[in-house]
Amino acid sequence: MAAPLAGLKVIELARVLAGPWAGQTLSDLGAEVIKVESPQGDDTRQWGPPFVEREGDRSASYFHSANRGKASVTVDLRTDAGREKMHALLEDADILIENFKTGGLAKYGMDYATLSARFPRLIYCSITGFGQTGPYAHRAGYDFIIQGMSGLMSITGEPDRQPQKHGMAITDIFTGIYATTAILAAVHQRAQTGVGQQIDMALMDCAVAITGNQAMNYLTTGTAPVRLGNAHPNLTPYEVFETSDGHAILATGNDGQFQRLCRLLGLDDMASDTDYASNADRVANRPEMNRRIQEAARRFTRDALLAACEAHNVPAGPINDMADVFEDPQVKARGMQLEIDGIPSINSPFKFSGAELALHRPAPKLGEDD
Which residues are catalytic, by number?
172
- Mapping DSSP to helix (H, G, I), strand (E, B) and coil, where does residue 157 land? coil
Amino acid, single-letter form, for residue 120: P
Which residues are bridge partners to 241 per DSSP?
248
What is the Rg, in whole angstroms, of the alpha carbon atoms belonging to the chain? 24
Which residues are bridge partners to 208 per DSSP?
none
Task: Compute the distance between CA of residue 309 and CA of residue 315 in angstroms, rounded to an integer.
Answer: 7
Give phi and psi for 367, each to the nearest 5. 70, 20
Alpha helices in the chain (DSSP H): 18-28, 61-64, 80-90, 112-118, 143-149, 170-193, 203-209, 212-221, 255-264, 268-272, 279-284, 286-297, 302-311, 322-327, 329-333
DSSP 8-state symbol, 101: P
Task: Compute the distance between CA of residue 304 and CA of residue 316 in angstroms, rounded to an integer.
Answer: 12
Give phi and psi for 112, each to the nearest 5. -65, -45
- Give the H or E element holding residue 187: helix 170-193
The CA-to-CA distance between both ends of the chain, in Å, stands at: 29
Q: Are 225 and 218 in contact (CB under 8 A)?
A: yes
How many CB atoms lie under 10 A from the CB of residue 161?
9
Q: Are 186 and 196 in contact (CB under 8 A)?
A: yes
Q: Are 44 and 60 in contact (CB under 8 A)?
A: yes
How many CB atoms lie under 10 A from the CB of residue 157?
16
Nearest to 369 by CA among 2, 53, 52, 33: 33
